[in-house]
Structure 1
Amino acid sequence: MAMACALSSIDKKSSLLTLTAPVKKIGRIAASWGRHAWSIGREDPRRAVHALKAGTALTLVSLLYILEPFFKGIGKNAMWAVMTVVVVLEFNAGATICKGLNRGLGTVLAGSLALLIELVAASAGMVFRAFIVGASVFIIGFAATYTRFFPSIKKSYDYGVLIFLLTFNLITVSSYREHSVLPLTRDRLSTIAIGCTICLFMSLLVLPNWSGEDLHNSTVGKFEGLATSIEGCTACVNEYFRDQDKDSNAPDKQEVKASIQIGYRAVLDSKSSDETLAHYASWEPRHSMHCYSYPWQKYVKLGSVLRYFAYTVAALHGCVESEIQTPLSVRSLFRDPCTRVAREVVKVLQELAVSMKHHRRCAPDVLSDHLHEALQDLNSAIRSQPRLFLGSKHACAANRRMLMELNSGKLSSASRATSLQSCKTDATAAALSETTKPAGAGDQPPERNERSNMLRPTLSKIAVTSLEFFEALPFAAFASLLVEMVVRLELVIEEVKNLERAANFREFTGHDHLAIDLSGRENTRNSNSAALNPVSAAAE
């Protein structure tokens, strides 16, 4: 009996555990989704605010259907107001204004044109009336659809043309069976006007999110992100000039690499968002103190220039992470000038970010003498090691002379001995092992074997000389990208100044210096040109 009770209690516990396991699993899933939702809202609290605004707008517009006085006046057409709120209310005020005005304008034009066609076909018979309705639907449908392919229409009024086409067909086709189309047109216009009014009220007056401010802050964030990427690259550059294999998988280094990629990838992926924000910002009212049209397209052009600059940062990061590297003994010769150039570029980007953030013009001497001196030091360091960049020319001449002598059979034994002695590499050892194989190992004639014994050491010397030159190529690419970064930085500064003039940013004053030494001169750009291509200067 006791045994039976024990077994029954065990069965109850197992069944209880079987039932609670799915409940716990569902609870874990719900908790994970809740944490994910909380992280999205914490990342940008405006998302939660916009969701509250959308819920409030839908509640207000549903009163047209719930309250009896409104329902008697509008009827079932009140659902058009609900649909308008769902479609028109967007996160940014510019997007809401754009879609609201497009929807209102398209509805008004379509209703007016449908009423005009109704007046023309009112006195006709049913057959002729059907012909007029069908012909008008075809002509207007063809014309409206074709205009959607126009770039200017598609960019700004595509949604309005779509609403125009929908409303026109709805009213025109309905008028064939309903002889009184005026109430339908009136109710449609009134409900859409109510829905658009609620959307504009929520977007413009209740914690608005301006597309222009988002575009401006996004541009400032690009400068800061690029500066962070180059700062991370500077840390990687310091490792680049040290032992790169040491602790390469350390967590802090992995975090630095991740921050580098986040910085420049955000710039590279910003083209569509910049164009969209600039388009919606052009619909927004002038919420600044200036009454002129704000140059939002200048931000798009600046973003394009920044993307070209980000390509260089990405390529520089690729050089640092490359599998083929110049020997450490060679890299260490150029450590200081390279890191100085990177640090000075970071300072310039930070100054540009601060100036744009506060709507003031950047310093006239934003390209400082420190950057110029760093370029000159890099140029001098490369000039001091011409063998790295001139070795290919001398090597090619020597190799060509050796091959000519080899082909003519005039290569001396002393030259062959020198070639053998100078090639102490794995490739040479392999070649020598092949030349010392037993005679029976190969089936080649004696003359051919003798020529191969003479040819292999020569080709080994050519390979070693080329290997020395190719070992210098990764650093040559690295130095060229640093210089290219400075050149493209000048283009970025020029575009920033164009934006500042067009947007009437306040003038730069001496109080705007921010712990960045900007004691450059006006001829900095001209003096920089002497150091813009140190690799080619060394080749001269």
Structure 2
Amino acid sequence: MFRKVHAGMEMEMSGNGESGKEMVNSEKSYMQVFVEKTKRYPGLVWKTIWKVGKEDPRRVIHALKVGLSLTLVSLLYLMEPLFEGVGQNAIWAVMTVVVVLEFTAGATLCKGLNRGLGTLLAGSLAFFIEYIANDSGHTLRAVFIGAAVFLIGAAATYMRFFPYIKKNFDYGVVIFLLTFNLITVSSYRVDNVLKLAHDRFYTIAIGCGICLLMSLLIFPNWSGEDLHNSTVFKLEGLAKSIEACVNEYFSDAEIKEETHDKTKEDPIYKGFKAVLDSKSNDETMALHASWEPRHSRHCYRYPWQQYVKLGAVLRNFGYTVVALHGCLRTEIQTPRSVRALFKDPSVRLAREVSKGLMELANSIRSRRHCSPEILSDHLHEALQDLNNAIKSQPRLFLGSNSNQATNMLALAAAHASQKHGSGISLSSVKTDSSALLEWKSKRVSEQSKENERKVLRPQVSKIAITSLEFSEALPFAAFASLLVETVAKLDHVIEEVEELGRLACFKEYEHGDEHITVTCEIPRVDVSQNHLASHGAD
């Protein structure tokens, strides 16, 4: 007995030892993984820093400009003579630089002038109200200040709903509300309200001046140029997406199903994604560009809103490209033997549409009118060839046996009813137990009918689809119709680009202009990523 107990204790200790070893090994492996990740972390951080700067070097310059601006405005604290003149109000200058200094000159001008104008109006109105309330008693003065805060706050907030105010001066109204309330309410406890308003406006003016100096004179980034280059980028992206989509549709390799995350890495998806997401970005850049000075060689008002209209037409064009790309991932695919019959005219048509979009992009980039041959005979010939190719294969699109689908549906329904339809006969005598049995049988019958419908629907739909003779060519018919739709929508894009050239006074087209080397750089990334949102109203 003692030997059995001793042997059991030894087995238990050996088992605990093995589990302990496993825990130690798992802890060592976890530590090794943690150490490896820690070693790789500096390399990953450096790669990210290098990638962000390489995509657009202007980001590095903007970061340095912000750092230099903050250093200059900090001198109001660091230098004793400046601090004696400004005092603790120097913090408003620092906050102004953080909030106002944006990536482009137009955005900085818009926010800087809004901030300065809002502060000036709020300070003037607060001083006027203080001047009126100063002669009243202590209680009436508090009532008057409260009523003024209520009326001015409600009126200014209601004005923010006006479309013109909301579009151009919303930030200025917010600054006006904040400054007015701070000065007016604090004036009840402060004797010299004029000095309070003067000091804040003075420090904010210093901060805005530094921001404008950095934005306009030191490596300026113009919102108008970003909007111009973004339009070129979108046209070229659509051109590449159409051509790549058609080439993939008629390629010999099998189309692999991709997940949603992998679709984002698809070059076709990248081509039209920038177009679909460009509405708010185009409107913002056009607004900021309208604030910018005439920095080009032509000192006239540039039609920035025409770029917004062109962007809307490009988004409408992009929806067709999205549907064209969706044909690559449909559940029912046309066999490649059938696709090969229409490959040459389809590829040729897509190439001509792509060439037209590229010509439009080049004309905008070089600021010249479109080539008169943009709608050349080659495009019409390619469209006619595709039409003739489809007409030459009528049996692919019109089935010869119209009753085949109906017969297959009847067979499917009969098969399903034989497999799942089962009835239960009941006695005509209805006792308590028989009534319960009848109720149960009805439940079973209803469940069997429901299961029959569930099984019948997929069988009927599958048999109906596979039995139709034109089902193999039907997906290609959708693809071809979308391809023809791009030709129709290309006319609208050309009209908007020609209108842009007329309003912007583009130079006339000359033979050989397409070979001119243009210095206007196409953005490597979406320019909307360069605009950092700063919502602080301080």
Establish whether TM, by shorter chain, passes 0.5: yes
Contact residue 234 and residue 339 of structure 1 kept, 8 A: yes
State the structure with bigger RCO (CA 8 A, min sep 6), 1 or 2.
Answer: 2
Give, in angstroms, the shift of residue 31 of structure 1. 2.7
What is the letter of the counterpart of residue 279 of structure 2? K
Distance (Å, rounded) in 1 between the aligned partners of 2:263 and 2:511: 38
- Structure 1 residues 381, 127: closer, same or farther in 2, change over 3 A? same
**1:387 aligned partner:** 395
Map 1:199-210 → 2, pairs under 5 A: 199-210=211-222
Distance (Å, rounded) in 2 between the aligned partners of 1:226 and 1:268: 11
What is the letter of the counterpart of residue 75 of structure 1? G
**1:537 aligned partner:** none
Q: Return the match for 1:286 from 285, 291, 294.
A: 294
**2:149 aligned partner:** 137
Q: Return the match for 2:40 from 19, 28, 31.
A: 28
Contact residue 101 and residue 211 of structure 2 kept, 8 A: yes
Q: Deviation string for 1:141-173 (max 9, x for gaps)?
A: 111111112222111111100110111111111
Contact residue 237 and residue 339 of structure 1 kept, 8 A: no
Give, in angstroms, the shift of residue 329 of structure 1. 3.1
What is the letter of the counterpart of residue 368 of structure 1? S
Contact residue 264 and residue 270 of structure 2 kept, 8 A: no
> Are 1:168 and 2:176 matched, yes or no?
no
Determine helix, strand or coil for the equivalent of 2:468: helix
> Are 1:509 and 2:510 matched, yes or no?
yes
Contact residue 368 and residue 507 of structure 2 kept, 8 A: yes
> Are 1:334 and 2:342 matched, yes or no?
yes
- Structure 1 residues 292, 18: closer, same or farther in 2, change over 3 A? closer
Determine helix, strand or coil for the equivalent of 2:512: helix
- Structure 1 residues 168, 255: closer, same or farther in 2, change over 3 A? closer
Determine helix, strand or coil for the equivalent of 1:510: coil
Give, in angstroms, the shift of residue 381 of structure 1. 1.1
Distance (Å, rounded) in 1 between the aligned partners of 2:266 and 2:30: 44
Give, in angstroms, the shift of residue 255 of structure 1. 10
Distance (Å, rounded) in 2 between the aligned partners of 1:362 and 1:288: 21
> Are 1:198 and 2:210 matched, yes or no?
yes
- With 94-103 and 65-74 compared, the bigger mean Cα shift is at 65-74
- Structure 1 residues 288, 87: closer, same or farther in 2, change over 3 A? same
> Are 1:244 and 2:254 matched, yes or no?
yes
**1:263 aligned partner:** 271
> Are 1:80 and 2:92 matched, yes or no?
yes
Give, in angstroms, the shift of residue 24 of structure 1. 6.1
Q: Return the match for 1:105 from 106, 112, 117.
A: 117
Distance (Å, rounded) in 2 between the aligned partners of 1:267 and 1:503: 22
- RMSD across aligned C-alpha pairs, in angstroms? 3.3
- Structure 1 residues 123, 388: closer, same or farther in 2, change over 3 A? same
Contact residue 306 and residue 500 of structure 2 kept, 8 A: yes
Distance (Å, rounded) in 1 between the aligned partners of 2:479 and 2:341: 14
> Are 1:151 and 2:159 matched, yes or no?
no
Distance (Å, rounded) in 2 between the aligned partners of 1:38 and 1:226: 29
- Structure 1 residues 24, 257: closer, same or farther in 2, change over 3 A? closer
- Structure 1 residues 301, 112: closer, same or farther in 2, change over 3 A? same
- Structure 1 residues 125, 378: closer, same or farther in 2, change over 3 A? same
> Are 1:220 and 2:232 matched, yes or no?
yes
Give, in angstroms, the shift of residue 37 of structure 1. 1.8
**1:532 aligned partner:** none
Give, in angstroms, the shift of residue 386 of structure 1. 2.3
- Structure 1 residues 128, 470: closer, same or farther in 2, change over 3 A? same
Contact residue 106 and residue 222 of structure 2 kept, 8 A: yes
- Structure 1 residues 24, 256: closer, same or farther in 2, change over 3 A? closer
Give, in angstroms, the shift of residue 442 of structure 1. 10
**1:478 aligned partner:** 479
Give, in angstroms, the shift of residue 101 of structure 1. 0.2
Q: How many residues align?
A: 448
Q: Deviation string for 1:348-393 (max 9, x for gaps)?
A: 11111111111111112211110100000011111112233343xx
Q: Return the match for 2:308 from 280, 300, 304.
A: 300
**1:531 aligned partner:** none
Give, in angstroms, the shift of residue 514 of structure 1. 4.6
Distance (Å, rounded) in 2 between the aligned partners of 1:260 and 1:299: 24
Q: Return the match for 1:316 from 324, 330, 355.
A: 324
Q: Which runs of 5+ in 2 are unaligned?
A: 1-27, 424-459, 517-538
**2:133 aligned partner:** 121
**1:182 aligned partner:** 194
Distance (Å, rounded) in 1 between the aligned partners of 2:201 and 2:466: 82
User: What is the TM-score when the length of structure 2 is the normalising length?
Assistant: 0.77
- Structure 1 residues 66, 494: closer, same or farther in 2, change over 3 A? same
What is the letter of the counterpart of residue 75 of structure 2? L
Contact residue 104 and residue 223 of structure 2 kept, 8 A: yes
Distance (Å, rounded) in 2 between the aligned partners of 1:257 and 1:106: 45
Q: Return the match for 1:378 from 379, 386, 389.
A: 386
Contact residue 91 and residue 209 of structure 1 kept, 8 A: yes
Identity of aligned residues (%): 62
